[in-house]
Amino acid sequence: MGPEQIRRWESGARAHAVTDPFGQGPVPWLRGGETYFDDTGLVVPWYADERRSTGEPRAADDVHQQIKGFASTGAVAPGEAVDFHVTVDPPQEFAVDVYRIGHYGGDGAAKITTSPRLSGIVQPRPLTADRTVSCHHWWLSWRLQIPSYWSVGAYVAVLTTADGHRSHVPFTVRDAHPADLLLVLPDITWQAYNLYPEDGRTGASFYHAWDENGRLLGEADAATTVSFDRPYAGAGLPLHVGHAYDVIRWAERYGYDLAYADARDLHAGYVDPTRYRGLVFPGHDEYWSLPMRRTVERARDQGTSLVFLSANTLYWQVELGPSPSGTPDRLLTCRKRRGPGKPVLWREIDRPEQELLGIQYAGQVPEPHPLIVRNAGHWVWEATGAGEGDEIDGLVAGEADRYFPRTPLPDHEERVLLAHSPYTDGEGVPRHQETSLYRAPSGAWVFASGTFAWSPALDRPGHVDARIQRATANLLDRICKRD
C-alpha cells in the first residue's frame, strides 16, 4: 500500500482527535501536537511524538505493527496478575516500563517498574468476523504480578523495542479499601472508539471501518461488536484518555482520597459504589450497560454523590459478553440503529440521560466557545472570582449538554444551573450549553459539567483555569465532608 493511498485515510485518530481542542499529550513522554503525515505517508496520531532526528523512541503504527499490545484485563487488584500479549515486527527484544499516572511534582507520572528484556515475536494476524476484530489468540508475552504494596491508580505499560519503536497499554489497579471518592475510568467508551488496526483494511470501531479500496466508511458500515482483546489504535492509548489523566493529576496533587475502577467493574459488580462518598466520572463516558446504570442510580439513591466532568454521558446502551475463550466482558456490543431488537439510545427507550444527570447531550461544538457563569452566588462558584455572566474562554468545547424542558428531571430537593452558554453548531444554528447540579432526596449531590473542556481546565497545560479548579474543589470538598 503506497503513500498516496494511505494519505486518503481519515484514520480513527484523525476522524476524532484532529478536532479535539485539547491537543497536548496526555502523559509526560508524549508531547506531540496535531495529527500529521510523516515522511512515509503514515498518519501520526495526535498523542504520539515522532522526533526521529533526536533519536527518541518512535511511535509504532498499525500498518507495520512494529510493536503493539493489549492487557488481559482492564483492572487488577494487588496480588493478582495482568497478562500482556504483544506483537513485534521484525522479531526482536523489547522491554516494558510501567508508569503510574499522578501529579508527582508536575511530572504527571512515575516509573514503577521495568520488565526484563523480553523476546518479541510476530503474533498471528487479527481475526475478523462481521467487522469484529479480535487478537484473543495471541500468545502470552509477559505476566506482571502486581505487588501487594502497589498503590491503586491508573497505569500505563510503555512497550519499547530494541530499535526504538514504542507503544502503550493502559490498565488499572484497584482494591476494596474504602476511600472518599471512586474515580471510574471509561474503558467501555474508550473501546467503542478504538479503530485498531488502522491499516486501511481491517480495523473497525462503532464509528468507522474500511472498504476494500482503503476508504474510511461511516457509522452505518461500522462494527456492532468490538473486542477488548486487541491493542488500541495508533500509539496504543485510547481516544480522550487525557481527560481522565487530567483529573487524576489534579486530584492527587491536592490530596483527595481516591479509589479507582473501570466502567466494566461497575458493570460486573466488582466494586460497591455505596461505600464511597462520591463517584467521579472524569472523561468522555458515552456508552453504558444496564447494570452500570442500575448500580449508579442505586448508589445515588443511597446517598453517594455523582460527579460527571464531561459531556455526552450515558448516551448509548451497550451489552457485554464473553470472549471466544470464555473470559467475561471482553466483547462489547452496540447495535445503534441496525439489526433486530429495541433501539439503544437511552432516551429512545424512555430512560433519558437527564433522569440521572439533570441535563443531557445537545450536540457537537465545532469551535470552542466561552462558558457563561450563571447563579454566581452559589457555593460552587464561591471564592472562584467568577461573577454573574462572566465568560470563561474555551470552556464549551468538543460536545455539550443542556437541560431539556420536555424531558423528566430526576427527583430532587434542590437544583441549579451553574452555566448557560450560547454557541453555534456546525450548521450555523444557535445552541446553548448548561452545567447542572441537583441534590437527590438521599442527600447525594449530582453534578454534570455539560462540556468536554472541564477536565482539561483542571490540569492540562495551556487549558488550566483557576476558576474551574476552585469550583471543582468546592464541589468535591462538600461531597467528602458530607455537607
pLDDT band at 100 (very low <50, low <70, confident <90, very high): very high
Average pLDDT over residues 61-86: 94
In this prediction, residue 48 carries a pLDDT of 37
Going by pLDDT thresholds of 50, 70 and 90, the confidence category of residue 29 is: very low
408, pLDDT greater than 90: yes
Q: How far apart are alpha carbons 166 and 99 in whole angstroms?
A: 14
Of 318, 459, 436, the C-alpha closest to 371 is 436
Give the mean pLDDT of 166-179.
Answer: 93
Q: What domains lie within the chain, and their CATH numbers?
A: 3-227 (2.60.40.1930), 272-315+353-481 (no CATH)
pLDDT at 215: 85
Give the pLDDT confidence score for residue 46 in this predicted structure. Answer: 30
Beta-sheet pairing, 305-308 with 445-448: parallel
User: Does 482 have pLDDT greater than 80?
Assistant: no
Question: Which H or E run contains 166?
Answer: strand 165-173
45: helix, strand or coil: coil
All cell numbers assigned to 150: 502497589
pTM of the prediction? 0.90
Q: Report d(CA 415, CA 440) in Å as an integer.
A: 9
Pair type for strands 287-289 and 316-321: parallel
121-124: which pairs have CB atoms within 8 A and are 24 or more residues apart?
A: 121/87, 121/88, 121/91, 122/65, 122/87, 122/88, 122/89, 122/90, 122/91, 123/85, 123/86, 123/87
The pLDDT tens digits for 365-398 are 999 999 999 999 999 999 999 999 999 999 999 9
Q: What average pLDDT does the structure give for the chain? A: 87
Is the pLDDT reported for residue 35 higher than 70? no
* Per-residue pLDDT reduced to its tens digit, 117-148: 999 999 999 999 989 999 999 999 999 999 99
